[in-house]
Amino acid sequence: METLKVLGVDCSNCAANVRKALEGVNGIEKLDIRLSEKAAVITFDPDKVSKQEITEKVEDFGYDIEDK
């Protein structure tokens, strides 16, 4: 499993948008919304979905992925 951190998730509407962005994406194992950190952490199976695919879906909703 790998993780990606989504930035700018600071309210319940943002959390709902991130959930909607990832809806139906095969390979997402867990979505941990952390409003106090203004972020969401996505745990995913890289054999089923790529970082690029997740990044594109999240960015389509106006959020950024933390660069590591």
Residue 11 to residue 24: CA distance in whole angstroms:
22
Residue 5 to residue 25: CA distance in whole angstroms:
16
Task: Note if the pTM is more than 0.85.
Answer: yes
Question: pLDDT tens string for the chain (68 positions)?
Answer: 999 999 999 999 999 999 999 999 999 999 999 999 999 999 999 999 999 999 999 999 999 999 75
- Domains of the chain plus CATH, in order, are 2-65 (3.30.70.100)
